[in-house]
Amino acid sequence: MNLPLDTPAVLVDLDIAEANVRAFQSYCDSHGLQLRPHIKTHKLPRLAKFQVQQGAIGITCQKITEAEAMVANGDIHDVLLTYNILGREKVARLRALSDRVRLSVVADNITVAQGLSDGFADAATPLPVLVECNTGADRCGVATPAAAAALAQAIEDLPGLQFAGLMTYPPAGAATAVTTWLAEAKDLIETTDLTVDVISSGGSPDMWRAHEMPMATEYRIGTYIYNDRSLVTRGTCQWSDCALTVLATVVSTPTETRAVIDAGSKVLTSDLLGLDGFGHVLGHPDLTIDQLSEEHGRIVSDAPTGLSVGDQLRIVPNHACVVANMLEHVTLLRGDKILGPEPVAARGQVW
């Protein structure tokens, strides 16, 4: 049955999203782990508020404008920015944000730390700064435990700043190695007068194994609220746990084994995450979205697709987070009931 919606559309089933939030909050509660969800997945203040209401200690954001969008209605009071904030104008904006919420940030180098100090030197309350650590994912982060200890002391010595702990985005399946790395850093730091009060870890792929790294005091996680094809493929969730889908319409059936839908890279995005194809067509495991242009998605099959022009398909994207950023609004559902459009408040907030 076709839904009375113009396509392509991004649909969010609130029943599924809320169930996902409650399930992982319950897991964290049972393991004594504080949950700090990353809003980059949904970018919706109403869902951030729901996450906090269920027990999250606050939220995680990457960029300042993203955080500003999340706290605008006054429901969120604790934000961790897990990104190196660099530049006088950005630091000034960060300072203004710190007047509105309990704010903490990260740094992995002295240049960033010095810039933060320049903006907060005369603040009434020091800015809490966590040292970002590269524990194997090879993105940002200091390279060694010794470097983490050195930067922790430098942060503590800078005016307006307070060393607040360690933060990492670990590689999946490496809990033992990550624990060893962080334990060494913690020991080195605590040989001085500093304490490591927060160890912030995260990642959706290992979400049900978060307890295997008991050193972590909080867990940052984003995709879990929606889930996506990448997490189903990893065995983290099932198709029925995927709250975000793309609704698309078949606009052409040039051959029996080929069809074209009205959702291309501008909606499904080009993210592959190591997968073949650009999403999973629910109810049609035999169909493959093998090719995208901006406005077209090509579907192929070894046998007749059985599709007709005008048919609607629901697609679980490879990566929900980037799809949520593509349109100005998502359409909220509860099961088959359409609730209506919801503006994506933090869409495009990259500053």
SS3 per-residue string spanning the chain: CCCCCCCCEEEEEHHHHHHHHHHHHHHHHHCCCEECCECCCCCCHHHHHHHHHCCCCCEEECCHHHHHHHHCCCCCCEEEEEEECCCHHHHHHHHHHHCCCEEEEEECCHHHHHHHHHHHCCCCCCEEEEEEECCCCCCCCECCHHHHHHHHHHHHHCCCEEEEEEEECCCCCCHHHHHHHHHHHHHHHCCCCCCCCEEEEECCCCHHHHHHCCCCCEEECCHHHCCCHHHHHHCCCCHHHCCEEEEEEEEEEEECCEEEECCCCCCCCCCCCCCCCCCEECCCCCCEEEEECCCCEEEECCCCCCCCCCCEEEEECCCHHHHCCCCCEEEEEECCEEEEEEECCCCCCCC
- Percent of the chain residues topping a pLDDT of 70: 100
Q: For residues 200-225, give the mean pLDDT.
A: 96
Position 20 in a domain: no
Distance CA 280, CA 181 (A): 37
Position 325 in a domain: yes
If asked whether residues 234 and 266 sit together in one domain, one would say: yes
Angle of CA points 315, 316, 320, to nearest 5°: 130
For residue 305, what pLDDT is reported?
98
Position 134 in a domain: yes
If asked whether residues 126 and 205 sit together in one domain, one would say: yes
Position 6 in a domain: no
For residue 311, what pLDDT is reported?
98
Last residue of a domain, one of 199, 221, 243: 221
If asked whether residues 112 and 183 sit together in one domain, one would say: yes
Query: pTM to 2 decimals?
Result: 0.97
Last residue of a domain, one of 221, 248, 263: 221
Tens-digit pLDDT profile for residues 246-256: 999 999 999 99
Of 286, 181, 275, 193, residue with least CA distance to 230:
275
CATH of the domain at 212: 3.20.20.10
Distance CA 94, CA 64 (A): 7
If asked whether residues 283 and 334 sit together in one domain, one would say: yes
Can you say how many angstroms the Cα of residue 189 is from the centroid of all Cα atoms in its chain? 29
If asked whether residues 269 and 197 sit together in one domain, one would say: no
Torsion angle of C-alpha atoms 151, 153, 154, 155, degrees rounded to 10: 90
At residue 80 the predicted structure's pLDDT band, cuts being 50, 70 and 90, is very high
If asked whether residues 217 and 235 sit together in one domain, one would say: no
Position 93 in a domain: yes
- Residue 236: Cβ within 10 Å count: 20
Q: For residues 218-244, give the mean pLDDT.
A: 98
Are the C-beta atoms of residues 221 and 37 closer than 8 Å to each other? yes
If asked whether residues 135 and 97 sit together in one domain, one would say: yes
Distance CA 43, CA 346 (A): 5
If asked whether residues 215 and 247 sit together in one domain, one would say: no
If asked whether residues 275 and 333 sit together in one domain, one would say: yes
Are the C-beta atoms of residues 56 and 36 closer than 8 Å to each other? yes
- Residue 1 confidence (pLDDT) above 90: no
CATH of the domain at 277: 2.40.37.20
Tens-digit pLDDT profile for residues 281-302: 999 999 999 999 999 999 999 9
Distance CA 111, CA 96 (A): 21
Q: Residue 176: which domain range? A: 33-221
**How does the average pLDDT of the chain come out, rounded?**
97
Total residue count of the chain as it appears in this document: 351
At residue 73 the predicted structure's pLDDT band, cuts being 50, 70 and 90, is very high
At residue 148 the predicted structure's pLDDT band, cuts being 50, 70 and 90, is very high
If asked whether residues 170 and 293 sit together in one domain, one would say: no
Tens-digit pLDDT profile for residues 82-92: 999 999 999 99
Position 43 in a domain: yes
Distance CA 38, CA 49 (A): 12
Position 18 in a domain: no
The number of distinct structural domains making up the chain is 2
Can you say how many angstroms the Cα of residue 50 is from the centroid of all Cα atoms in its chain? 16
At residue 172 the predicted structure's pLDDT band, cuts being 50, 70 and 90, is very high
At residue 233 the predicted structure's pLDDT band, cuts being 50, 70 and 90, is very high
If asked whether residues 162 and 193 sit together in one domain, one would say: yes
If asked whether residues 288 and 161 sit together in one domain, one would say: no
Distance CA 57, CA 145 (A): 27
Tens-digit pLDDT profile for residues 5-64: 999 999 999 999 999 999 999 999 999 999 999 999 999 999 999 999 999 999 999 999
Last residue of a domain, one of 204, 221, 238: 221
Position 158 in a domain: yes
